[in-house]
Amino acid sequence: MRNEGAILTGWYAGEVGGEALFTAQAATAPPDAARKWLALARVEAAVAARLATVMAERRIPIPDIENAAVRARQRCEATAGRSWPEVMQWLHRLAAAALEEMQADAATLPVELEPVAKLVVDHETALVAFAQRELAGDAAQSLRPVEAFLGAFA
């Protein structure tokens, strides 16, 4: 079992990486897709900021994630040339795996960390729901879970 410092640090690194990935995806995407990628990036940035606050309060060192942009570009290159549904399948697999791990880690944290654990799980749930809606052909409403999360977070 990982300790709370390792869990929070891992979550933080994932959020910083996710923000970099979604921002990089937006940079080369058509306008509507770019808007969606940037909404996902805002979710990641908001959760990373909250995790950084919690980590600072608990005196857990905030790691320098210097390779996030490089890894994001590499992941973008791996999805280049794929269709939007293929990219959404990839995103769904990525987010669903992350959600499963986050839920397992959240269950091991002390009670005082339940609010941040819920935030982390809820944000990943919104990302999974976004990808599911896109895959179901509900592109017009796909950002609803993301927007609801951001609205509740504010």
Q: Mean pLDDT of successive 10-residue segments in the chain (154 residues)?
A: 86 91 91 96 96 96 79 78 93 95 96 96 97 95 95 78
25-30: list long-range contacts, CB under 8 Å, 24+ apart: 25/76, 25/79, 25/87, 28/76, 28/80
What residue spans define the domains of the chain?
A: 4-153
Hey, what amino acid is at 65? Answer: I
Q: What are the structure tokens assigned to 145, written together?
A: 């879970």
Distance of CA 119 to the CA centre of its chain: 11
Hey, what amino acid is at 100? Answer: E
Q: What's the pTM value of the predicted model, to 2 decimals?
A: 0.93
DSSP letters spanning 46-60: HHHHHHHHHHHHTTP
